[in-house]
Structure 1
Amino acid sequence: MAHLRAFHKIKDLRDRERTEQEKQHQSRVETFEQKATQLYEVLKEKEEAEQSFHQTLSKRTIQAMTFIQHQQYIERLEERIDSLQPEVQDARQAMYNSQEKLTDAYVEVKKFEKLIEQKQKKHQKWVKDEENKQMDDLSMRQFLNFQSR
């Protein structure tokens, strides 16, 4: 059974690694959600600003300075969107990579659980076979003792 203890220790190590991967993955998911929310908010702000400006334009005439200020505001929002999109993509890719590592960690733990289970079944079968052999031997002795009387 010392051999089995070694497998348990390895499984425990893999289990700790899996737990660490879960924490990393959760951190990556939170980062992605944060970046995606930022991008969504800026896109929403841009859309609302454009709608508001178009409504104002349709109702009345505006001064050139207001038009220029609005265009500059929209440009700043577009620059912010352009800077956030790669950040969101990077965060998404990091999240996917951590998901793969987490999946691999789960598979490793499962492998060792199956291996331990198989070893335990094999050991139990061996114990049962040994008991049967001893019982057969004991039965044979009793039979021979009974015959020799």
Structure 2
Amino acid sequence: MSKRTGTKVQKNRTDDEFIMLPTVDFCFKELMRNEKVRKGIIAALLGVRPEEIKETRLLPTILRKEYEDDKYGILDVRVEMHDGKQIDFEMQVAEFDFWKKRIVFYLSKMVTDQIHKGDDYDKIQKCIHVSILDFVHFPEDNRYYR
């Protein structure tokens, strides 16, 4: 593990043999910029064929701050589906004590960003969070994919 970046580095490899792992934030974000890769990952998660996913669109990842003292947040990858649903993909290598609370914060901001003064509540679309973790966060739960 590199102390500076927190990424896993394969030992006994020369620089020209090194392939950046998708657990590196930069690599993951770049992979998700490719629509074919993005549709493939979403299709696998939803249990459908990639052809069934009509369209995806990358959204800005910086969460809106309404007031100066609001908590600042940056999502790794935020995708909007053709039907308005949003998916937040978070890649996390190092274990994070407040991961569940951070997820709730991110999802809450995604929901509140959809609605503004005068809007009806039916404008709000479903938001989904996907954690891709390099550690077991719920060891007692067998429902989560590991």
Q: Give the shorter-chain TM-score range.
A: under 0.3
The answer to which structure has the higher strand fraction is 2
Task: Specify which structure has the bigger relative contact order, considering alpha-carbon pairs within 8 angstroms and separated by 6 or more residues.
Answer: 1
TM-score (norm 1): 0.22
Structure holding more helix per residue: 1
TM-score (norm 2): 0.23
Larger radius of gyration: 1
